[in-house]
């Protein structure tokens, strides 16, 4: 039975557990994307985002934002907004 796909992609156990903790809230439509601030819809794809320096988690992000930030260094995308995020969300 195939499982632990995300582990194979390099995400650890802690990441998956945290994602599972967020899942009910995201699927209930209660969570806003940590990067763009838009609500993540119950049917939307989302990822648990990291801070750009990878020292912590920002929380759920819509997949569009997560991919955009992870694919590059992340600096150009967020225009200083990530500094605020770091202060308002502590993990
Ligand atoms: Zn977003």
Segment 7-30, tens digit of pLDDT: 556 678 989 999 999 999 999 999
CA of 1 to the centre of ligand 1 (A): 33
Q: How far is the CA of 39 from the centre of ligand 1 (A)?
A: 8
CA of 60 relative to ligand 1 center, distance in Å? 9
Alpha carbon of 27 to ligand 1 centroid (Å): 15
CA distance 1 to 22: 25
- The structure's pTM equals 0.62
- How far does the centroid of ligand 1 lie from the alpha carbon of residue 55, in Å? 20
pLDDT in tens, 36-71: 999 999 999 999 998 888 889 999 999 999 888 765
How far is ligand 1, taken at its centre, from the CA of residue 76, in Å? 15
Contacts made by residues 74-79, CB under 8 angstroms, sequence distance 24+: 77/35, 78/35, 78/52
- Taking the centre of ligand 1 as the mean of its atom positions, its distance from the CA of residue 69, in whole angstroms, is 10
């Amino acid at each position: 039975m195939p499982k632990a796909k995300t582990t194979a992609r390099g995400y650890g156990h802690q990441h998956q557990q945290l994602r599972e903790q967020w899942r009910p809230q995201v699927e209930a439509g209660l969570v806003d994307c940590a990067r763009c601030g838009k609500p993540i819809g119950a049917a939307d794809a989302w990822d648990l985002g990291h801070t750009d320096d990878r020292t912590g988690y920002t929380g759920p992000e819509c997949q569009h934002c997560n991919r955009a930030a992870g694919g590059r260094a992340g600096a150009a995308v967020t225009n200083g907004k990530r500094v605020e995020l770091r202060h308002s969300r502590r993990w």
